[in-house]
Amino acid sequence: MIVVVLLVFGMLQLTPGDPVQAMVGQYPVPAEFREAIERHYHLNDPFLSRLWQYFANLAHGDLGFSFQMQRPVLDLILERAPRTLILAASGFLLGIPIGMAVGVLSATSQNRHVDRFWTTTTLVAYAVPGFWLGQLLVIFFAMQLGWFPTQGMAPLVSRASGIGWLLERARYLVLPAVTYAIYEATRVARLMRANVIETLGQGYIVTARAKGLSRAAVIRRHVLRNSSLPVVTIMGYAFGVAMGGAVLIETVFSWPGVGLLLIEAIRARDNQVVVGVVLFVSFAVILMNLMVDLLYCALDPRIRTGT
């Protein structure tokens, strides 16, 4: 994590642009105003002094202050994180089962055309950029059919409460979540297909057939679990990364999550926020990796220690 901070902090020193100018906008900055700002935010202190101050604050749980939004960075991230979490979780919960089903279907189908159809479909869906797919979905389902709102996370004015409030929110979630899910599903499907084909070549599958189990029982009891293990690793890591927000999807749907925050911060040269978001993502990835390891122990008895 410390390395991550050093890297990002250092990189942002090298980027062009002037934070004070970005704050003021398209107007010339008066000299005394610039000086006051720079003194207030320690912008002209030496690099190492600022870095030291940053770490000292970090130790107190202070991620710094956004001079663009005039709020603490931690507040900003914590406000955005649940929204990103909802979007990513819906995308994963929808995408992973679909991807696994397609992967298994494609790998176990005895008809070569079925396999080829799914492999091609997955590849095409995988290659389509998420933002373009998102826009297509918006044009068709939101603008033409009017089933779902085009962007945002909630209506500007809302009188609904209880279940109605929840359903109203859910309508905003559908399109971004589906876009997200399609991408995750293609990744899982490709991985799952390869894993299932590998598992089917294992000896214990022959044993299972020799027992007189039906094809479906062999797949359900012996193939699924053993083929899912690598998916757990990849998806756990991906979920950690996803906490940084799917930047493109959040931008397309104006979903006010961490990804959109990052974009806004980069545009505004709000460096403290950028470092904060990157730090937050690396923390999420580390946390998810830990959880993946724990889950792995539960799924694969060979990993358990002491045996």
Task: Enumerate binding residues for other proteins (CB under 8 A).
Answer: 202-204, 206-215, 221-222, 225-226, 299-302, 307
Tokens representing 93 are 């919960």
Based on CB atoms, which residue is closest to other proteins, 267 or 304? 304
Min dist CB 192 to other proteins, Å, is: 16
CA distance 271 to 265: 7
Min dist CB 211 to other proteins, Å, is: 4
Based on CB atoms, which residue is closest to other proteins, 221 or 267? 221
CA distance 281 to 28: 36
Based on CB atoms, which residue is closest to other proteins, 217 or 234? 217
> Taking Cα atoms as reference points, which of 245, 265, 252, 258 lies closest to residue 129?
252
Location of structure tokens 């007189």: 212
Min dist CB 111 to other proteins, Å, is: 13
Q: What are the φ/ψ torsions at residue 70 (nearest 5 degrees)? A: 55, 40
Min dist CB 9 to other proteins, Å, is: 44
CA distance 133 to 129: 6
SS3 71: strand
Based on CB atoms, which residue is closest to other proteins, 208 or 248? 208
Min dist CB 112 to other proteins, Å, is: 10
Tokens representing 157 are 């004015």
Min dist CB 238 to other proteins, Å, is: 23
CA distance 254 to 95: 21
Based on CB atoms, which residue is closest to other proteins, 52 or 204? 204
CA distance 246 to 80: 13
Based on CB atoms, which residue is closest to other proteins, 199 or 282? 199
